[in-house]
Amino acid sequence: MNILERQQSLMNAFDLNVRTASSEGRFTQAEHIEMATGYVLERRTDFTLSGRLPLLHKRFYHSGSMMSPGLLGTRWRCLWDMSLLLDGESVTFTDEQYNQGVYDLPVAGHKSRVSHLPQWRLLRRGDDLLMRHVDGLSYRFGHAFGDRLLLSRISDGKGNELTFTYHGAVLSHISLADGRQIRVDTDLGCIKQLTLLTPQALPIQTLARYEYNPLGYMTSCRADPGANFDYRYSRNGFLLRSSDLSLTWLEFDYDVKGRALAIRGAEERFNAQLRYDDEQGVVYYKSARYGIRHYYTDEQNNITRIVFSNGDETINEWWDNCLIAQINARGEPCQFTYNDFGQVTAMSIQGDKTWEYSYDDSGRLTQYTNSKGEIWSYRYDNKGNLVSVSDPFLMQWFYQYTSLGQLAWIISPDASQTGYRYNRLGQLVTILLADGGTVVFHYDGLGRLVTRCQTLADGSKEGTQFWQYKFGMPYPCAWVDEEGQQTNFAYDCDGHLIGVTNSQGLKHDYEYGAFDTLISHVTPQGRSCYQYNHDCQLISVSEAKQISDSSLYFHSYQGQAVQAVATQPVMSQQSRVVFTYDAAGRLESKTLADGTSVHFYYDAIGRLVQQQSRTKEGRVDANIPLECNDVVHQLKVLSPDVALTFEYEKLAQNSWRPKQNS
């Protein structure tokens, strides 16, 4: 669990009902509605090109009043649409999600910031204007078109860059860090097709294709499996329907301001209604599952209060769009403080326990102190690469990098070393194991893994694995293990795995419903069927569709499992397990079919401290006290190539395992 995940997990412990918090602090419901405003949101990733500096093509839709024609038409925007608008001594920055900030034009060598976009800085280097994000990426705006500056370069500060080339105001090519290119075919300024090219400008593959209606609204996207969608709009650009190539679809109704009044989904999933009280600043969200929820907002559209259908409340306090305090349904407060980059520097729960985070001037984490005063320290080189980590138990890890910022060596506390080698495209090709062995990887022309060969320290080969692909599919159609046994795979048009056949001819078949739900799994032994509620939560598992042999799951208005009922075919016997939760969403008890129960008790900061077993008459059968460490003695170190996880088993023991990012 890295630091940000730790923060998020602790925040979620105080409000399990909030699904998503955007960077602006506005909560969304069902991933499609911005509950502070009622606007419809859509976020999609059409493709990802891995490499020394990966390229992700993400796009964003918002049903609000602001519309700025860009590379994806009138309503959709992508990262490449970011721009600067010059107006005398001020500069207006617009990002890919329509967020805007007006900056003072800095003098050369200086920077400027605005409070509501704390993660960004406007820098001036000579005649160049750059936006630097706290994640370490810099965006240069060097292509002028009138009083607008268009995105011309993205760099990571380690020698890797993405370069954007224009014809007039229209993007024509993108040059990747490894020399490959993307040809951008446009029509009336809108992207029609993106094609990956070799450094010699020879086509490799089509990455994405787009179509638009006469009003400039995107009507279809064709990209990787699972990233193919069709869209329908009202005349003023409100998204009425989105659908994939299989069974999933969503429909929306709007008021005149572009706010959602109703949402309908395939198989009656995610159906809801919304109403608005603009004078009081309240959004009412009604669904058959959750009842009516009230969302109260401030003038900056931050949600200050949530009232649930059972009367529970969550209170939020904000400052400059940063959440500084939250009180859950049990009245338990949690406070946060931030630095100028909007990063959490301290978190305090009920004023009892505090977690602290320190950062350098670039926003990189340098020290983490948990609630017991234990300290983790992080050190970086002048390129921003993490070069060492030390923990409270006097153990240290060291990291070395290539000239282009790729992880080259890991030195663990026991002095063992593991090395990594890469090809021109930045793909991992060799792992030099600490025991002297090696693992070698080979890829095809589309960058897909085709072989993995491991050699032991004595030079003997442990075995080779092979992967085979069909056409331009990113997923393998066959895998051959070290013993020569082949397993075949089949997929549907959305990239779902629908068939697996092993070397003995035994087959597994999978069937999916709307919203990627697995509804059937057929094995040589029989069929399992799965049913879901309106929020795609599992409610039933049955064998061969026999109701007499099934498991049923029931959920609360907060989405928590409250009952699990299993029916056995012999004598039609049923077993029922009942769960209860406290107001903060924590599991309070589990009652089995025979009446015995297990009860759970927590301390002031939500950690489990006691587990109590009771007989069916309610007498205490056993008490198990639990000694709490910090949240988790676990640390992840992330680099562009390798994620390392350290799990502490005892005070002076640890285990670690490098894991290559996919």
- Provide the pLDDT for residue 283: 97
- Provide the pLDDT for residue 560: 58
Half-sphere exposure of 583 (CA within 13 A, CB side): 14
Single-letter residue type at 152:
S
Contact 657, 647 (CB under 8 A): no
Place of tokens 């988790």: 632
The closest of 201, 148, 149, 204 to 174, measured between CA atoms, is 201
- Provide the pLDDT for residue 550: 56
Contact residues for 37 (Cβ-Cβ < 8 A; gap 6+): 26, 64, 259, 283, 297, 301
Which stretches does DSSP call E strand in 406-523? Answer: 407-411, 417-422, 428-432, 438-443, 449-455, 461-468, 478-480, 486-491, 497-501, 507-512, 518-523
Q: Centre a 10 Å sphere on the Cβ of residue 101 and count the other Cβ atoms it contains.
A: 19
| Torsion angles phi and psi, residue 292, rounded to 5 | -110, 125
Please provide the DSSP assignment of 600-632 as one string: EEE-TTS-EEEEEEE-TTS-EEEEEE----SS-
Contact 141, 131 (CB under 8 A): yes
Q: Centre a 10 Å sphere on the Cβ of residue 357 and count the other Cβ atoms it contains.
A: 21
Contact 221, 210 (CB under 8 A): yes
* Exposed e or buried b per residue across 614-634, where buried means at least 16 C-beta atoms within 10 angstroms of its C-beta: beeeeeeeeeeeeeeebbebe
**What pTM value is reported for the model?**
0.82
Three-state SS at 484 = coil
- Provide the pLDDT for residue 571: 41
Integer CA distances (angstroms), 498 to 135, 476, 635, in order: 38, 13, 36
Low-confidence spans in the chain with pLDDT less than 50? 1-30, 545-548, 569-572, 629-662
Cα separation of 238 and 500, whole Å? 41
Sign of the Cα torsion 442, 444, 445, 446 reads negative
Contact residues for 641 (Cβ-Cβ < 8 A; gap 6+): 406, 407, 420, 422, 426, 428, 660, 661
Integer CA distances (angstroms), 468 to 182, 322, 448, 451, 476, in order: 26, 48, 9, 9, 5
Three-state SS at 320 = coil
